[in-house]
Structure 1
Amino acid sequence: MTDDRRATDSPAPQTVQDEHTVSFLRFGVGAIGVLLPPALPLGNWLADEVTGRSTDGYWPASMSAAYYTGTRNLLVGALCALGVFLICYRFDRRDDRWSTAAGVFALGVALCPTAPRDPTGLQYTVGVFHLVFAALLFVMLALFCLYSFRNPRSTQPARVGTAYLAAGVLILVALVAAAVAGLSGFGAGWTVRPMYLCEWVATWAFGAAWIGAAVELAAGRGGRAGSGALPRQAVGLEARGPEASPS
């Protein structure tokens, strides 16, 4: 009687993703982060070359400013893909919430363009939402590096944990530097603006971290229970039903 009641009251098994899906989503997020910063100016330059237009100003003032260049569709498409990857990502309860929030923020960045040079009242308001979404997105991605991919209590090599820590700190530092450069107008006359460089560093940092996490999981370090690499995260990859609870 007691056993039957315990089995009935136990939570239903969790629906989780397999290791290949998690690795694919991690790699997708990382690949977007690595490829997008150089693709925007390169795409503008190629478009100008092909159409015979002047290549002056092919490098946007910021990654968000690419919305008003020939690579608008590339920027919006990449951000939408990033948002979908993050929303679909499932690992454990905490990471699920973080990735869903980050995915919503990525879609917000894509759908709320930054304000142009002489904005209307509506464009200015939308631009403010863009900045808020962008800042929150980078903060959430930094949290993954600082708390999700790192696990000091496991057999994860110390250098790997240090690399994730460095990536998370670098994202936050670059985010602050980008904000300072944008507000102060520092380097406004440069061909490559400091703000773009700071965004590039932050984007590459999270891209490298997510690709590294995908490689770790694909290599069997952090995917299976008992592997010893990421035991806390491994719980999220197991379908836990009544039979998995301790007796």
Structure 2
Amino acid sequence: MSDDRSVRRTTDPEQTVQDERTVSFLRFGVGAIGVLLPPALPLGNWLADEVTGRSTDGFWPASMSAAYYTGTRNVFVGALCALGVFLVCYRFDRRDDRWSTAAGLFALGVALCPPAPQDPTGLQRTVGVFHLVFAALLFVMLALFCLYSFRNPRSTQPARVGAAYLAAGVLILVALVAAAVAGLSGFGADWAVRPMYLCEWVATWAFGAAWIGAAVELAAGRGGRAGSGALPRQAVGLEVRGPEASQT
């Protein structure tokens, strides 16, 4: 009798749909921020300069973090705070819960610890170092989701989907290293669009596309189709197989 009650709890359709919708929403929210933020910062600066009648020269920040000292500071900080909240609230399994919570805290750290200005004081320089460390850790955690969470060779996930997640994860890490090299070497410092910003844009779009893809994958499997394999660790798979197993 206890087994029957357990099956009924895990096969509650309302609870299943709510969980899937919540996870899909959070995944899509993380991905949307990743896709929209890189173009929003220079575009917002340009629009602000146009509206106020100021010169639009230098509307493109040297890096995404440099937007903190431009007219789109609130956009940058607000987007990172929203990203942090989405990641902290994200729940899937024990490992991913820990990863997402850590990534969310890193995102909040990036938002609350501003980068060092042109002529920093000792305190501003220290806070700027924390900003860079939090930003690097955030990108690494988001890359891990692409490499080890969304990509699952044990499922019936199509090979091309797993390859796309793998490519996104590798691209995030490569772009992160390239951004660090460009920032430390000063390469392209006289370019209108700095190489560091372009590398950050690539990394941010890579994780944004991966998280939106993961949201679409879950939405496509909503309803608990047996053997879909889209989310092998999600309870929906067990919910479909439970009653069938009890009948055999």
Report the TM-score, using the length of structure 1 for normalisation.
0.88
Taking structure 1 as reference, are residues 3 and 180 closer, same or farther at Cα in structure 2, changes over 3 Å only?
closer
Contact 2:16 2:236 in 1 (8 A): no
Deviates more, 1:233-242 or 1:100-109: 233-242
Question: What is the number of equivalent residue pairs in this alignment?
Answer: 246
Secondary structure in 1 matching 2:233: helix
Contact 1:222 1:233 in 2 (8 A): no
CA deviation string 1:34-74 (max 9, x = no partner):
00000000000000000000001100000000000000000
Taking structure 1 as reference, are residues 62 and 2 closer, same or farther at Cα in structure 2, changes over 3 Å only?
closer
Secondary structure in 1 matching 2:221: coil
Contact 2:155 2:229 in 1 (8 A): yes
Cα displacement (A) at 1:204: 0.1
Taking structure 1 as reference, are residues 245 and 52 closer, same or farther at Cα in structure 2, changes over 3 Å only?
farther
Contact 2:175 2:200 in 1 (8 A): yes
Contact 2:224 2:240 in 1 (8 A): no
Deviates more, 1:14-23 or 1:118-127: 14-23
Report the TM-score, using the length of structure 2 for normalisation.
0.87
Secondary structure in 2 matching 1:156: coil
Cα displacement (A) at 1:233: 3.9
Cα displacement (A) at 1:194: 0.1
RMSD of aligned residue pairs (Cα, Å): 4.2
- C-alpha distance in structure 1 between counterparts of 2:207 and 2:97, whole Å: 17
Contact 1:10 1:242 in 2 (8 A): no
Taking structure 1 as reference, are residues 232 and 50 closer, same or farther at Cα in structure 2, changes over 3 Å only?
same
Cα displacement (A) at 1:195: 0.1
Taking structure 1 as reference, are residues 237 and 189 closer, same or farther at Cα in structure 2, changes over 3 Å only?
farther
Cα displacement (A) at 1:16: 11
Cα displacement (A) at 1:215: 0.3
Structure 1 moving runs of 4+ over 2 Å: 1-11, 13-17, 221-230, 232-247
Taking structure 1 as reference, are residues 17 and 184 closer, same or farther at Cα in structure 2, changes over 3 Å only?
farther
Cα displacement (A) at 1:17: 6.3
Taking structure 1 as reference, are residues 84 and 10 closer, same or farther at Cα in structure 2, changes over 3 Å only?
closer
Cα displacement (A) at 1:228: 2.9
CA deviation string 1:115-142 (max 9, x = no partner):
0111000100000000000000000000
**Higher normalized helix content (fraction of residues):** 2
- C-alpha distance in structure 1 between counterparts of 2:181 and 2:58, whole Å: 22
Cα displacement (A) at 1:15: 11
Contact 1:19 1:237 in 2 (8 A): no
Contact 2:11 2:239 in 1 (8 A): no
Taking structure 1 as reference, are residues 131 and 227 closer, same or farther at Cα in structure 2, changes over 3 Å only?
same
Taking structure 1 as reference, are residues 3 and 222 closer, same or farther at Cα in structure 2, changes over 3 Å only?
closer
Give the % identical residues: 92
Cα displacement (A) at 1:88: 0.4
CA deviation string 1:125-164 (max 9, x = no partner):
0000000000000000000000000011111110000000
Report the equivalent of 2:3: 3
